[in-house]
Amino acid sequence: MKGNPLLRLGIVLLVLAAVLWPVCRLTLHRATPQAVMPITNSTETDTSSTPDASDLLKLGKRPTLRATLLLHAAPSPQHCLITQAGRKLLTKNDQISPGEYRAAIEITKGEDLLVSADWGDEEPHALRLEVLVHGYQAPLEKSFWAQKTLEDTLPLPKSFLP
């Protein structure tokens, strides 16, 4: 590209300045009240005073779903953990047999599940996570492949049915 080096520098700086605003908005997002509020415990027995989903969103609380997490791993990891918004949902203590884990939990719609596991060797490892939502027939499931460590997410859409 021919031309004055100062003019080329000015054009590059203009392009970088135009990209700076969207990048800052994506990377420096502020915590919303919904992300800061604790998740409600939906084990209340009085259903007459239970707010509906739109009331929960107005209050900054997100609706939860009762679900069962099933984790199948081959071979069994040394450590495994599934979290959602900082809450531990499934740990190594929920093992039901070698390579299989199960936990009955409450999940929040629209919040991703963070899956992490690690093994002691560099061999390929397979891990499958199933989310069985109570009252809904089709499970959400995702398979993961890793070598020594795994850290990935399973997105739960806000529009999830039940």
Question: Residue 144 CB: number of other CB atoms within 10 A?
Answer: 18
Burial of 127 (C-beta count, 10 Å sphere; 0-12/13-18/19+): buried
Using alpha carbons, list the distances in angstroms from residue 104 to 36, 46, 94, 144: 24, 21, 10, 21
**Interval 37-62: pLDDT, tens:** 444 444 444 444 444 444 444 435 66
Q: State residue 129's pLDDT score.
A: 92
**Interval 141-150: pLDDT, tens:** 899 998 899 9
Contact 143, 117 (CB under 8 A): no
Contact 40, 64 (CB under 8 A): yes
Whole-angstrom distance, CA of residue 110 vs CA of residue 97: 30
Instruction: Please state whether the predicted TM-score (pTM) of the whole model is above 0.95.
Output: no
Paired tokens of 124: 């390929």
Paired tokens of 149: 């460590």
Q: State residue 101's pLDDT score.
A: 93
Whole-angstrom distance, CA of residue 70 vs CA of residue 41: 21
Q: State residue 54's pLDDT score.
A: 46
DSSP state, 27?
Answer: H
Contact 39, 108 (CB under 8 A): yes
